[in-house]
């Protein structure tokens, strides 16, 4: 499998964000099922849905029972997000399976898929900060617009840095300078056998 280029990953994340915002609703995945592209699109799709639920749960007028329901949706989405990250790491393992790491090959502190996770969420930050910069309503003061533009400039700079980090990491993997090693997250809070608040209350 050919190594993924950062510019392609960012493009897929952007497409997912834009597709969801056309109707502020789920959009069919345009990529072949089981492909790397489909997995990247679905990863951002999950992030986009969670982004808007996180917005909703912070409304001061929301009923307590709705808060509970939304929190459970967020927990489910967090688990889905982790599952998608692990699928992406599986793709990365396959990309570099034939590469023999050098004896002094180094490890990276985060897996490539968790770097892609940061890049996916960054595209949501950029999209919504661009919305703020483009606001025309009366409450959007010049000061507000200027502050948001300054933040947007930082986010755009971060996009370029993270793209470079991903490309350099994949280059290091391909040369055996770094070795691919993945740790699964092993989240416990959704597991009825690992979360004491769940298994102690089982009948």
Is there a contact between 50 and 74 (Cβ–Cβ < 8 Å)? yes
3-class state of residue 29 by DSSP = coil
pLDDT value, residue 195: 65
pLDDT tens, 121-132? Answer: 999 999 999 999
State residue 138's pLDDT score. 75
For residue 7, pLDDT beyond 80? yes
Report the distance separating Cα 70 and Cα 55, nearest Å. 10
Let me know: does 25 contact 54? Beta carbons within 8 Å.
no
8 Å CB contact between 97 and 169:
no
Which has the minimum average pLDDT: 148-162, 165-179, 181-195?
181-195
Q: Which residue has the tokens 């470079």?
A: 164
Query: What's the confidence (pLDDT) of residue 192?
Result: 67
Mean of pLDDT values over 75-91: 94
Task: Indicate the pTM of the whole model.
Answer: 0.89
């Amino acid at each position: 499998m050919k190594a993924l280029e950062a510019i392609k990953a960012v493009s897929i994340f952007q497409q997912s964000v834009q597709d969801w915002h056309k109707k502020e609703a789920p959009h069919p995945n345009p990529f072949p099922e089981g492909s790397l592209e489909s997995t990247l699109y679905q990863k951002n799709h999950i992030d986009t849905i969670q982004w808007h639920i996180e917005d909703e749960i912070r409304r001061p007028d929301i009923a307590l029972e709705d808060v509970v329901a939304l929190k459970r949706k967020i927990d489910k989405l967090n688990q889905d997000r982790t599952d998608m990250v692990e699928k992406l790491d599986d793709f990365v393992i396959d990309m570099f399976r034939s590469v023999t790491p050098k004896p002094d090959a180094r490890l990276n502190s985060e897996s490539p898929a968790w770097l892609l996770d940061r890049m996916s969420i960054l595209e949501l930050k950029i999209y919504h900060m661009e919305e703020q910069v483009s606001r025309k309503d009366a409450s959007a003061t010049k000061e507000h617009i200027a502050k948001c533009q300054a933040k947007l400039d930082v986010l755009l700079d971060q996009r370029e840095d993270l793209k470079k980090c991903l490309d350099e990491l994949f280059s290091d993997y391909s040369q055996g300078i770094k070795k691919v090693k993945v740790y699964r997250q092993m989240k416990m809070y959704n597991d009825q056998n690992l979360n004491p608040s769940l298994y102690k209350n089982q009948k």
